[in-house]
Structures are given as C-alpha cells and as structure tokens.
Chain A
Amino acid sequence: MTLLRLEQVTRTVELPDAEPLHILRGVDLEVEVGDHVSIVGRSGSGKSTLLNLLGLLDEPTSGRLVFDDVPLERMRSGQRDRRRGRDVGFIFQQFNLLPGRSAIENVVTPLLYAPPAQFWRRRRLAADMLDRVGLGGRLDALPTQLSGGEQQRVAIARALVRGPRLILADEPTGALDVETGERVMALLDQVAEDSGAALITITHDRNVAALARRHYRLDAGVLTPTDADVAVGATVPVGTSAAAAPSPVAPAWPAASSPPVAMPSAFPGERL
C-alpha cells in the first residue's frame, strides 16, 4: 500500500535580482507502508527541501504530492499540521531535544498535540516509549546529562511516541561517532520495523544508507534510484575512512554485546 507518492515534483525559489533557483527537478518517489528508503546526496543537492516536502512542511512548485491517497493541495494548513503530528515522526541530525526539559518531557511534547486519548495518558505512553529505546531508567535526565547516543535515542522515542506511519530521519547519525551511529541506526531500523512505519533516511553516511532496502541518490535536484553500492559510493563517510569502515551490510554490533535489536536488552544500561 502506497503511503507517499511524489509525481514530477519541482521546487523553485524566486530570487531577487537573479535567476530562479531550481532546487528540485521532476522528482518521482513512491514509499510503501513499512518501506525503508535511503536518500544520499551532497550538501546543496536539495536534501533539506525534499525533507520539507516529505514532512508536509512545504509545498511543491509544481507536480503532485499525495500522502495517504490525499493530495497535498486538498489539505488545509491546519489539517496538514495535524496529519504531520499524527503520521510523521522527525529525527534530526542535532537531536533537537528541547533544552531544560527531561527525557520524558521531551517525549511527551508530541503528545501535547495529540487527541484526548493520547494526551491524557501522555506520561505513561512516553515512559513506555523511552523504555523501548532502553532509557526506562533515565526518564528524568536532562539532555545535558545524556550522551550523544542517549540523546538521539530520546529523539527516536519522541519521533515514535505517537505511532507515526512515516519516520523522516535527517542525518540521524551525523553528530555521533561511527560505532554509536551504527547502534542508533540499528535501533531505529528495528523500532520502525516493529511499528510497521516507513523510514526515509536522508544521509551521506554510506553505512547508514546501506541499512535501507531501497536507495536513491539526489544530485542537483534530480532523484535517481540506485543500487546499494552506487548509493554508498556516492560520498565518503563522515568521521571514518573507507578502509576502516565496517562492511555496510555487516551488523555494527560488537560480537560480545547483545544482538542489534531495538528492545531494551540491546542497551543494558550502557551509555552510547
């Protein structure tokens, strides 16, 4: 079942005293329920603009965007915001946890915009979600008391707490070291699979891209499907060299550790 469809989507920005800037050119993309798609591209290739469109935060200049069989142009602003809250979970490169708020308060945030049934049970839902990402014992920790990996796990819990059907991960491991990044990705992949949500990862890290089932490459606003090797070869991974990087398909988990699954047992109290 198709969750999201982009048909010949373009995005152009009019600039004063200059030629219009064509950021996206004729993008076609179809994402199924439960899909895992990676999009790689260099800086300035239009990744952020595409992310805005996929997350219903922006409108295409031309072409069609259909979310859950409803064309974007038929959704009013408020409807689009509500659908985003209900169906889309965002994970950002810089975690973007709300400063000064504990882990559970951060995870509660999306539930403040949820229907009554979820809002009134917000603390329980948030605590359960944090437990699922292995942070059940750190509910009241502030972002400053958490390691990078833990912060990203809080961000994952926050993105998933409303049970979205689409998870948009924008450079989810960009601020983490290689090993932690791999663990976080394994968790994200697993939690997405458990919940049946589609996962679109925008990255230029080949290990991260390799975890996806389908691969795309964005170059100068043109999105093209590739096979894994081509996509992975598109850029040099951040923070590692090609020689030192583990095989993209190999599990990034130390042999002595638990298997790379998303359940709390994957994080037996360790700080990522």
Chain B
Amino acid sequence: MRFITSIAAALVEAWGELRVSRLRVMLSLIGVAVAVAALTAVTALGAVAEQSQREQQERYQGRPALLTFMPSDSTGMKSPDPSLTTTAFQDAADRYGIDWTSRVLQDSGSVELPRGVTEMPIMAVDPDYGTMHRIAVREGRWFDADDADRFAPAVIVSTDLWKELGSPDLRTHPHFELSGTSPSTAVVIGVTGETCDGQCLSMTMLYDDFVKTGFTRIDDGPGAYIPQPSYEAWVPPSTAKKLMPRIASAMSLALGDGWQINPSRMDYAAQLGGYDPYLPLKLAVGGIAGLVLLLGALGLVNISLVTVRYRVREIGIRRSFGATAGRVFFGVMMESVVATVVAGLIGVAIAVAVLKNPTVIGFITSSVQDVPPFPISAALIGLGSSAAVGALAGLVPALVAVRVKPIDAIRL
C-alpha cells in the first residue's frame, strides 16, 4: 500500500507540475509527439503493408508450408487420368497423416449471365482450399463437405460477377446456368473480394462438380486437351522439406513407370527464406523517426535542465517537507515520463488518424478490400519509446535535482 501510495503521490506531484507549466511542457513536447507519431505510423505502415502483402500471397500461393505436386507423363504416350493421380495423392497424404489437401485446377468455361453467355476463368478446388489459402469470403460462406452432395453445384463468385448478377441477396439462392456436356444450374453460396471495376468475372467451384459439368469436352478425341489438376498439401513448415520428396516418390510408385511427380513449394515463407522485403524501408523511416525522437529528447533535456535550476527553491521546499532524495529524483523523472507519455498518446492518436484514412491505406496496399485494423504492436512501440525517451530525458535533470541542498535552495 505504501509503495502504491508513493507511486500515486509521485504521479500527482508530476501532474501538478506539468499543469502549472503547461506552456513549457507543450513547447518541449511538440517534437516528441511528432516523432512518436512518425515512429508509430512507420511501424504500423510496415505491419499493415506486410499483413496485406502476406494475405495476398497466401491467397495465391497458400499458407506456409504449402506443397504442390504436379504429375506429368515423361513418355508423353499416356493420357493423363485425373482419377488415378487423385487416388495416388490421397493414399500418399493418408500415409503421412496430412489433414489438409486439395486438388486445384484453373480453367475457363461458359456461363449464362443476364448479358448473355460469357466465358470466364473457373477455379476448381476441394473445400480445404479455403483454409489452406485463407480465402476471405465477403458475403455468404466458403464450401463445406456437404456441398459435394448437392444436385445444383455450389459456386463462389467474385465481387464483379456478383454485381453482374445484380448483387442479389444470397439467402434468395441466386443461380445461373453452366454450359458444358452436362449443363447444370449453379447456386451462388459466397462472394470473394476480387474486383477490378467489373472486369474480373470469375468463379470457384468444387473440383468434382467441375468435372461433372464437363466444361472440357473429353470426347473431343485422343488429342483433346484434358486438364490435369495439381495437388496441394498443407503441412507444418518444419516437416515440409522431408515430406516433399516422400510424397512425390509415393505418388510415382503408385502411378507406375513413366510418371513423374514434380513437387514444389510456392508459399512466401519458402520464397523469402526469412527475408523481409520491407526491411530497408522500415529501417530508413524508423531511423529518421528515431533521430527526430532523439532531437525531441535533447530539447526536452535542455528545457528540463533549465527548469530544474529555476526550480531549485521549490525542490528545497519539498525536501524540507519530507521529500527524500529518492523521491525528488523519481518526481523529476516522472514529470518527464508523464509528459512524454502524454505526448506519445497524442502522437499515436495522430498516427491512428492518418492510417485509418482509406486514401493513405490505398498507397501501401494496391488491392485493399478492407482497411486493416491499426496494429496494437505499433501503438505499444510508440508509447514505449515515448516513455523511454521521457525517462532518458529526465535522468540528467533528476540527478541535478537530487544534489540540491535544501536550506541553501530555500534561502536563494
């Protein structure tokens, strides 16, 4: 209780001093507030840019570690048979205890839209794909296991395609016709964020539905193009290196002679190898903010020193009323810390206000869908550095204050 009281009393004392010398404090703290705003903004910018970049990378290349296996026939004599390769992949995945797998096929097909039959990119996947690529569905939902049993295939459309359909409420089960060897009616169950001013008409459906619909005409003859899916497995990054060749060889063994499995890993963690592409930028702007903070701190030290000299009498009076040397030291230090923390709060608020502005966010993330939340870590770094600067700037004046001889000071 005594300790808490001492802290509370020192805070009361510091606040009282700051209140009395508002102008001085304000002038000395502008630099600190600006520097903290810059530092926080830079940290937050880095975090937001990194997060947005990472989300994009995850959407296209998967979350670490995402292994991709691409079967190919080295003899060129055999027609690819997706059902065989799928079985080989599933067996290998089961053997190595991999829970998250998906077939992935990128193709195109014709659908009947209100404006007529339109050819558009179609992606065919398994339900796990959504988790493996952290797909954000803006409206409705992603696929689940039951969607495979539907009579009318479920599809997830891009924002542009959804708008093309007239932005219907998904509870009304909006649908459109799919052209293929077995034409069917697709029911929209979700909308993803892709948009490029109405040009990005695309959709995603379950792999089995895609095959059933028969967008690609298998009976076009022996030379016809038969799409071959790639196989993705999401595994813990620590085991990725070991699993990659093992799964590949298990698949080739199952498929027999002539089949080659090309394993690859495309996720950003594998590409960057721990390198942060934003590091140079972050270091440069962070360094500048650090310098500004240092200049602010020097200004604060200067003003605090002058003030302590001016306040020698007051310190003497406080000593005569029982303030210990430690308390005087702590009090002067707290004044500095309380002041810079207040400046830090203002700085962080400025940074938040700036970074919450969609225009600013647009500069750093090209295809922003939602303004990401302000990173707490950046705010904490801003506040922490302002408190540290306050403590450092308060140290010298606090040492001067402790050396004040009470009666000499009072009789000044």
CA distance A105 to B327 in the complex (A): 18
| Shortest Cβ distance from B405 into A: residue | A57
B136 interface hit (Cβ, 8 Å): no
B77 interface hit (Cβ, 8 Å): no
The answer, among A52, A100, A105, A113, for a CB contact under 8 Å with B322, is A113
Is B323's CB under 8 angstroms from A113's CB?
Answer: yes
Q: Give the chain B neighbours of A105 by CB distance below 8 A.
A: 16
Please classify how large the interface on chain A is, using the bins under 10, 10 to 19, 20 to 34, 35 or more.
Answer: 20 to 34
Q: Shortest Cβ distance from A39 into chain B, in angstroms?
A: 16
Q: Give the chain A neighbours of B115 by CB distance below 8 A.
A: none
Is A109's CB under 8 angstroms from B313's CB?
Answer: no
Q: Shortest Cβ distance from B1 into chain A, in angstroms?
A: 5
Given A110-B321, A113-B323, A119-B5, does the pair A96, B313 have CB atoms closer than 8 Å? yes
Is B20's CB under 8 angstroms from A101's CB?
Answer: yes
| Shortest Cβ distance from B22 into A: residue | A100
Q: Give the chain A neighbours of B327 by CB distance below 8 A.
A: 81, 113
Q: Give the chain A neighbours of B320 by CB distance below 8 A.
A: 55, 57, 84, 88, 90
B9 interface hit (Cβ, 8 Å): yes
Which B196-223 residues have C-beta < 8 A from chain A? none
CA distance A152 to B179 in the complex (A): 99
Interface string of A44-59 (1 = CB under 8 A from B): 0000100110010110
Is A81's CB under 8 angstroms from B323's CB?
Answer: yes
A16 interface hit (Cβ, 8 Å): no
Q: Shortest Cβ distance from A263 into chain B, in angstroms?
A: 25
Q: Shortest Cβ distance from A13 into chain B, in angstroms?
A: 12
The answer, among B2, B9, B21, B317, for a CB contact under 8 Å with A96, is B317
Given A98-B314, A112-B13, A116-B1, does the pair A52, B321 have CB atoms closer than 8 Å? no
Given A98-B317, A116-B1, does the pair A81, B410 have CB atoms closer than 8 Å? no
Interface string of B326-352 (1 = CB under 8 A from A): 110000000000000000000000000
Is B321's CB under 8 angstroms from A85's CB?
Answer: yes
Q: Shortest Cβ distance from A82 into chain B, in angstroms?
A: 6
CA distance A112 to B314 in the complex (A): 14
Which A90-126 residues have C-beta < 8 A from chain B? 90, 92, 96, 98-101, 105, 109-110, 112-116, 119-120
Q: Shortest Cβ distance from B125 into chain A, in angstroms?
A: 65
Is A96's CB under 8 angstroms from B410's CB?
Answer: yes
Given A48-B411, A112-B12, does the pair A82, B324 have CB atoms closer than 8 Å? yes
Is A119's CB under 8 angstroms from B410's CB?
Answer: no
| Shortest Cβ distance from B411 into A: residue | A48
Interface centre among A52, A90, A112, A114 (most CB of B within 10 A): A112
Q: A81-B327, A82-B322, A112-B12 are in contact. List 17 more A-B contacts (CB 8 A).
A: A48-B411, A51-B407, A52-B407, A55-B407, A77-B325, A81-B319, A81-B322, A85-B321, A90-B321, A96-B410, A98-B314, A109-B317, A112-B10, A112-B13, A115-B5, A116-B2, A116-B5
Q: Residues of A at under 8 Å CB distance from B? A: 48, 51-52, 55, 57-58, 77-78, 81-82, 84-86, 88, 90, 92, 96, 98-101, 105, 109-110, 112-116, 119-120, 158, 162
Q: Residues of B at under 8 Å CB distance from A? A: 1-2, 4-5, 8-10, 12-13, 16, 20-21, 313-314, 317-327, 406-407, 410-411
The list of the 5 closest CB pairs from A to B, nearest first, reads: A85-B322, A100-B20, A110-B321, A81-B324, A113-B322
